[in-house]
Structure 1
Amino acid sequence: MGNIVKRGSKELVTDGAKSLEESSCDTLHAKLYEAIMTEDCTAIQALLRSHPVNQPLTVLANSTSCGLLLTQTQSIIPIHLAAEHRKAHSLHCLLEHGADPEVRDTRGLTTLHLMLLHWPITSTVQTKPGNRIQRLLADIQNNAVTCLRILCEHGAQVNARVNNSHKHSALHLAIRYGTYPVLSILAQNGAQVNAINESSMTPLHMAADILNKEMMETLIACGANVNYAVPFTGNTALKLAVCAASSKAGRVLAVGLSCIRLLLIHGAEVNTQDHKGQTAIHEACFAGRETVIDLLLEFEANINILTRNGESPIHMYLQRSSNIRDTALLAKLLYRSYPLRLTNNQGNLPAGLTLSEFHLLRESLIKLSQKPLSLEDICKRNIRNIYGERYKQHVKQLLPEKVWSSVYGYYDLACLLK
């Protein structure tokens, strides 16, 4: 019995020692956590003598679940803590004492990645100049920028990829999370502006897809390739911007024109075809958003170009009944289309045109497509297609007014279908 009691006493002593050690460790972690959050660099430096700078802290964190306040442990690396909470002085102190900016968390994120994920969102609420909230938001943004610059100055790898299925670079993350102010800083520190992610999309593709003009402007100024095509689809930034602007949300909100114009002004090739042979004008015609169509035509989009399946832009337009009812836009497209091709390679008419309500129009269009144009009409179409809306006024100065009016006159659908 005595031996059993003696063994039990040793176990109690051992357990007690472990408990004291754990308690001491918890206290150390709590003190270092507090020192980082309060930016007490003297305390950070002293505590790092007992805690390796790149080892995680285990601290208590509060969370809310089902209306209850819960306390649970959280493990976080010191430099990640400083970066996430934008503690510039603590971040600098940790880096000066050997913190590795490339150390990753359990999700495969570096310090730079975490900073971008926790970047402060700029308020969209209008405030008066000098307003306290405005000043507070400006200070938060400035702290974030300062932390980013500190990281870059201490050798953070701006082209490191996230270790997950997306393989986003820092620039991709900046686009995804709307951290506009960081783009130029990352580019200045060597970020590859044309880097591709797992989907082979560049940051410009992502910015165009969400119609963020500020980001697009910055990326183009930093050397983004406006004509890079995604290998799997052939989509360019222009095609993605037109798709987004032509979507239901794009039409309702009337957004995207400035983004499309920006790309076109900076050399985006308007008639680039994707793997299906579709161009930006095909997308715009299918959606039926007139302002987008007009803008593409202004930059010499080919209204007669065919997809690999033999579908013309007018064929795409006639797919949807809502488009067909817009007779003014339909007339404008018909006026430019020659030869008028209504069917695809399989001889199929557009779906919208097969509806019974458009029976008379269908018959008229089929006759029009089979009717040869006069030499005069061919010349007029060539002038419109070559000079388009962009040089419309210039052509007016060169041609007699009567001739110009006949070329760029009012689009009369009834006249076209005679």
Structure 2
Amino acid sequence: MAGETFPFTSSTLRSLRLQREWLEWEDRRRAAARQSRSQRCPLSARARLTRPRRSCRDPAVHNALFSGDLQQVQALFQDEEAANMIVEMVSNQLAWSPEQGFWVLTPKTKQTVPLTIAAARGYTDCARHLIRQGAELDARVGGRAALHEACAQARPDCVQLLLTFGAKSNVLSDEGMTPLHLCTTPESLQCAKLLLEAGATVNLAASESEVRPLHVVAARGLEQHVALYLEHGADVGLRTSQGETALNAACAGAEDPGRGRQHMAAARLLLEAGADARAAGLKRHTPLHNACANGCGGLAELLLRHGACAGVPNGAGHTPMDCALQSVQDAPNWEPEVLFLALLDYGAQPARPEMLKHCANFPRALEVLLNAYPCVPSCDGWVETVLPELWQEHNAFYSSALRMVNQPRRLQHLARLAVRAQLGSRCRQAAAQLPLPPLLRDYLLLRVEGRIQ
């Protein structure tokens, strides 16, 4: 690359403008140096001028960087100026057009630097060459530094390289995120270990949101990351700007019962580390509300065992039972009765009759809820929502429920409810300790029988 021209741009006017900016910068630098020497100021007090970066849209440069062609990178980037150029990329993205009333492809320009491209794609040799040519390790052109992108793409070799050459482990992106905040996949565990070994601050909050790295990995159910951060002193009691703890994040992130297992493992680690199962955010939404809204029965039971309150309302007045009922139809192929049983065994009140319509097409779950009443409430709110084929398949249950509406229940059922009321939130633990025959214990815990008696 020549010292006074930039061969990668196809525009002569652009080249001339860049050359003029360079010369003006050099004049200002020399003037500042002369003034500094005349005043005999120490080096730390001298004026520091920022060298203007040159921009490039040349396809040859893009191809070399994005393909990791080391020979081409070595040929194209032979000095500090080239290693720190701004690489401009134009991509088409969908954007809503109010004028046209539909989504259209809109060109969007993105800026970055060569080192960030190489680090994000795991081209360690290319990144090493750029660093040796003087690439700035912590440059945030485009909003993120190379270390951010290496962690976001789970490139531990590049993370190690950058840290070895002196990249800052706590460098902030324009969004106020550290590289540790961007370790968001199971494959990024080694990146997180390298960052922490290099001195990354595990409890550093992101700007504005005040999200900590522990919130991020808990929300994604990354059990090994959670364990690693806890080993390095992560505080389970720290909250985001919305008042959410890492446990809230873990329960909110379990968006369906299928993913609930990995989030339950993360939540268990947090609870064992002292997380408060009753901690509510600004909207008074507790971890149990989140678990129930996601239909995660196992996670809800874990929280209840650690002291979560089954009957507390959130800011909208909804109890965990309300959240569980509203989630039934959003999570097919699961067993909502497991969640309802856990809530009832830990002291939740029976569901409001008007809410029964949400689980009308889940006969086992509906049976559990109906058996929590001393008298079967009116079926008018849910009977018409049952699918005909489901009614035919479970005719014995639905017919028995209709027959028992507002009819006296058996004394055995009333005695069961009386014992459960006496035990309260200790029903499940007490039933396991009472010297009861297995059949009677199952009956006390609202065993599903396939009919209402």
* Bin of the TM-score, shorter chain as denominator length: 0.5 to 0.7
Q: Which amino acid aligns with 1:266?
A: A
Instruction: Specify the alignment match of 2:284 in structure 1.
Output: 277
2:70 matched residue in structure 1: 38
- Cα RMSD of the aligned pairs, angstroms, is 5.2
Cα distance change of structure 1 residues 191 and 381 upon mapping to structure 2, 3 Å threshold = same
TM-score where L is the length of structure 1: 0.60
Residues 30, 286 of structure 1: alpha-carbon distance in 2 compared, 3 angstrom cutoff: closer
Q: Does 1:222 align with 2:232?
A: yes
Q: 1:227-266 maps to which residues of 2 (within 5 A)?
A: 227-232=237-242, 234-245=243-254, 247-248=255-256, 250-251=257-258, 255-266=262-273
- Number of the residue aligned with 2:172: 161
**Deviations for 1:187-242, whole angstroms, at most 9, x for unmatched residues?**
2222222233343322222222222223222222222222322222x222222322
Measured at CA, do residues 350 and 240 of structure 1 come closer, stay the same or move farther in structure 2, by a change above 3 Å?
farther
Q: Which residue of the partner structure matches residue 98 of structure 2? A: none
Alpha-carbon distance change, 78 to 408 in structure 1, aligned in 2, over 3 angstroms: same
Give CA deviations for 1:347-391 in whole Å, capped at 9, x if unaligned: x96474896126979979xxxxxx9x999655422543xxx65x9
Kept after mapping to 2: 8 A contact 1:159/1:169: yes
- Counterpart of 2:47? none
Tell me how far apart the structure 2 counterparts of residues 362 and 215 of structure 1 sit (CA, whole Å): 52
1:111 and 1:316 map into 2 onto residues whose CA distance is: 42
Aligned length: 336
Q: Does 1:380 align with 2:423?
A: yes
Amino acid at match of 1:410: L
Partner of 1:412: 446
Structure 1, residues 8-36: CA drift from partner, whole Å, max 9, x if none? Answer: xxxxxxx9xx99xx9xx99xx989x9799
Of 266, 270, 294, the residue aligned with 2:301 is 294
Shift of 1:182: 0.5
Partner AA of 1:200 in structure 2: E
What residue in structure 1 maps to residue 179 of structure 2? 170
Deviation at 1:319, TM superposition (A): 4.4
Separation in 2, partners of 1:311, 1:42: 62
Q: Contact conserved, 1:40 with 1:90, CA < 8 A, in 2? A: no
Unaligned runs of 5+ in 2: 1-11, 20-53, 92-109, 359-378, 384-400, 408-413
1-structure distance, mates of 2:148, 2:336 = 48
Mark the CA change 1:43 to 1:315 in structure 2 (over 3 Å): closer, same or farther.
closer
Cα–Cα, structure 1 residues 407 and 39, in superposed 2: closer, same or farther, change >3 Å?
same
Alignment of 1:84-99 (within 5 A): 84=120, 86-88=122-124, 91-92=127-128, 94-96=130-132, 98-99=134-135
Task: Look up the equivalent residue of 1:213 and give its one-letter code.
Answer: E
Query: Counterparts of 1:61-80 in structure 2 under 5 Å?
Result: 77=113, 79-80=115-116
Q: Provide the secondary structure at the position in 2 that maps to 1:242.
A: helix
Is 2:220 the partner of 1:195?
Answer: no
Q: Using the alignment, how far apart are the partners of 1:288 and 1:362 within structure 2? A: 28
2:203–2:234 CA contact under 8 A, matched in 1: yes
What are the superposed Cα offsets for residues 47-95 of structure 1, whole Å, 9 maximum, x if unpaired?
43xx636442889x9x9xxxxxxxxxx9974544553454545544554
In 2 relative to 1, CA 362–56 (structure 1 residues): closer, same or farther, beyond 3 Å?
farther
Aligned residues: percent identity? 20
Cα deviation 1:299-328 (Å, max 9, x = unaligned): 2322233334554333444446769x9567
CA offsets 1:268-322 (integer angstroms, 9 cap, x no match): 2111122222222223334443222222222232223333455433344444676
Q: Distance in 1 between matches of 2:440 and 2:226?
A: 40
Deviation at 1:157, TM superposition (A): 1.9
Does the 8 Å contact 2:322/2:351 carry over to 1? Answer: yes
Q: Distance in 1 between matches of 2:240 and 2:198?
A: 26
Q: Report the Cα distance in structure 2 between the residues aligned to 1:85 and 1:331, rounded to whole angstroms.
A: 49
Cα distance change, pair 380–239 in 1 and its aligned pair in 2 (3 A): same
1:356 counterpart SS class: coil
8 Å CA contact retained: 2:185, 2:222: no
